[in-house]
């Protein structure tokens, strides 16, 4: 039964995606994997104090490198340099996660690996859903997703002045749902870009890495919030 299921899966994938698109996606996901490993190294360097603490500087470094990457067109000869920028961006992003990782480890050290596994499962599930859908209906989610993203920014701004646990929970869960939607959207956009002749797999991997990183952050925050509430409940009992 498992063999039949895998055969059906690969048959559907081959029917939906042309060989050159499949090869492009392999390159994109290879870059994404390297990004995740680089970000993990950055987070590790912060948590174990291998590097001096420069959280704010890492944010500017990540922003600068990704802007440099996007401003450097792929000409086929500069891929090594652009890949270095990509991995530098991911490493700096991992360092930027340091305060959140410190907080989660303080609450419960098991939250970080749990959040990573949950993020991987969510990302793989939504990516496959996007790739196995014959019609590109998820592309039309773009306008809705960006509108909802603006709403979450407004909610986050309001939270500065109106401290509400309910608002915080709504903001976290809504943001997570939006990021899952972006996985569907960005995956299908990458496929269509390749079909239109855009083979910049390094640039395309940035979009998916940002999605992965955002989903990880929101899952980790939600898990930490639940863990704190359970600890308070145990203390009150």
Would you say residue 6 lies in a domain?
Answer: no
**SS3 per-residue string spanning 8-60:** HHHHHHHHHCCHHHHHHHHHHHHHHHHHHHHHHHHHHHHHCCCCCCCHHHHHH
Burial class (CB in 10 A: 0-12, 13-18, 19+), 213: buried
Domain that holds residue 42: 18-225
- pTM for this model (two decimals): 0.91
Q: Is residue 213 part of a domain?
A: yes
* Domains: count for the chain: 1
Residue 192, SS3? helix
Lowest mean pLDDT, pick from 5-19, 40-54, 58-72: 5-19
Residue 48: the pLDDT is 83
pLDDT value for 10 = 59
Please indicate, yes or no, if residue 1 is contained in any of the structural domains: no
- The pLDDT score that the predictor gives to residue 7 is 60
**Residue 138 forms part of a structural domain:** yes
Specify if 197 maps to a domain: yes
Is residue 79 situated within a structural domain?
yes
Other C-beta atoms closer than 10 Å to the C-beta of 41 total 16
| Dist. CA 187–CA 16, nearest whole Å | 13
Tens-digit pLDDT profile for residues 170-224: 889 999 999 999 999 999 999 999 999 999 999 999 999 999 999 999 999 999 9
The tokens for 21 are 């698109």
Bigger pLDDT: 18 or 222?
Answer: 222
Q: Would residue 147 count as lying in a domain?
A: yes
């Amino acid at each position: 039964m498992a063999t039949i299921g895998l055969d059906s899966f690969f048959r559907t994938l081959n029917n939906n995606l042309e060989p050159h698109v499949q090869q492009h996606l392999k390159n994109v996901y290879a870059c994404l994997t390297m990004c995740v490993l680089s970000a993990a190294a950055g987070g590790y360097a912060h948590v174990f104090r291998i590097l001096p603490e420069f959280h704010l500087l890492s944010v500017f470094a990540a922003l600068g490198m990704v802007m440099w990457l996007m401003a450097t067109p792929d000409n086929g000869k500069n891929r090594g340099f652009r890949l270095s920028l990509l991995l530098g961006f991911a490493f700096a992003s991992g360092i930027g996660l340091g305060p959140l990782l410190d907080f989660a480890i303080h609450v419960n050290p098991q939250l970080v690996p749990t959040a990573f596994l949950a993020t991987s499962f969510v990302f793989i599930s939504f990516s496959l859903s996007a790739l196995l859908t014959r019609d590109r209906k998820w592309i039309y989610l773009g306008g809705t997703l960006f509108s909802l993203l603006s709403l979450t920014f407004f909610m986050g701004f309001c939270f500065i002045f109106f401290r509400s646990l309910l608002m915080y929970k709504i903001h976290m869960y809504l943001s997570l749902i939006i990021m899952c939607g972006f996985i569907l959207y960005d995956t299908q956009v990458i496929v269509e870009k390749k079909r239109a002749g855009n083979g910049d797999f390094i640039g395309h991997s940035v979009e998916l890495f940002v999605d992965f990183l955002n989903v990880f952050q929101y899952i980790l925050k939600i898990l930490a919030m639940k863990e704190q509430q359970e600890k308070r409940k145990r203390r009150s009992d």
